[in-house]
Amino acid sequence: MHSMQRVSAAWSPWRSVRGWPQSLWGQALLIQSVSVLLIAGLVAGATHSVFAFELRSLGLPLDRLWFWCFPHVIVVSVWAKLANMPIWWRWIHAVFPPLVLLMQQVALPPSVYLAGFIISVTLYWSVHATRVPFYPSFPATWRALHRILEKHADDTPLRVLDIGSGLGDISLFLAKQRVHDSVMGIEIAPLPWAVSAVRSIFSGTSAHFVLGDYRQLDFGQQDVVFAYLSPAVMQAVWQKVCQEMQPGSLFISSEFPVPDKAADHIVFPAPGAPALYVYHR
């Protein structure tokens, strides 16, 4: 579902601080808020101190909000890195403040912001809890996954599950290539699920999509489970695989390997495309 650098869920120096939020949303809000207070203190000190005239003589626009946006971005980015937040959260920290200033300069009607909010909520939904942001896969990945299934079972029908299926690209592709397989995708965010469900109606395939949390499914009913999730959840997913999947089944992860577990095969679909890590049960 997304492409990002591998991040560790290991200890961070901030986890031992009393009151430090456990959710990523809470951490982000705290980092942004404290940085705003810090920058506000710097603004007050720079504009009202005895050195204010000297600073202005250097040509520094101390009265411009965008001038103070840059140190704010630096502070939140560094703090997010020290807090061991995922790389995509660090990008949000860096892009959000200048984007807010930019939108203040554009006279857009309130309905635009409301529509953006609704789309964001339905697209990312519970990403704060699952730690799996939406990100589409690559066509090279679809083809490589198809080749893996062909080698694994030839024409034998398989029950294939795509967890975090997004817009349904992989499930629809596999269902077209392997018409005798039972292909199901499960997606927790309403908007991607709705898109994939509508696409399946007009696809002419038997692929079907479920709105829900893959953690509530029984992996033991599947011959192949495919995941393009996040390094933050791979250990938990692997535990579920070990507990539920039957001997002879396959677990395949795109881009993110299982921690401390060597893959049986590693497939590189194409230059620039993420690797596929194949695990036999």
Q: Which has more pLDDT, 267 or 121?
A: 267
Per the DSSP assignment, residues forming a β-bridge with 182 are: 159
Considering the segment(s) 139-280 as one domain, its CATH architecture is: 3-Layer(aba) Sandwich (3.40)
Distances (CA, A) of 52 to 47, 64, 71, 114, 270: 5, 14, 18, 41, 56
Q: What is the structure's pLDDT at 131?
A: 53
Averaged pLDDT for residues 48-67: 56
Q: Any idea where the domains of the chain sit in the sequence?
A: 24-107, 139-280
Cα-flanking dihedrals φ and ψ of residue 263, to 5°? -70, 145
Is residue 107 pLDDT above 50, yes or no? yes
- Over residues 8-35, the pLDDT tens digits come to 333 444 555 555 555 666 777 788 888 8
Gap between the Cα atoms of 107 and 126, Å rounded: 30
Kind and range of the H or E element at 185? Answer: strand 182-187
Q: Is the pTM of the predicted complex or chain greater than 0.95?
A: no
Q: Which of the four pLDDT bands, split at 50, 70 and 90, describes residue 253?
A: very high
Per the DSSP assignment, residues forming a β-bridge with 185 are: 162, 209
DSSP 246: P
Is residue 132 pLDDT above 60, yes or no? no
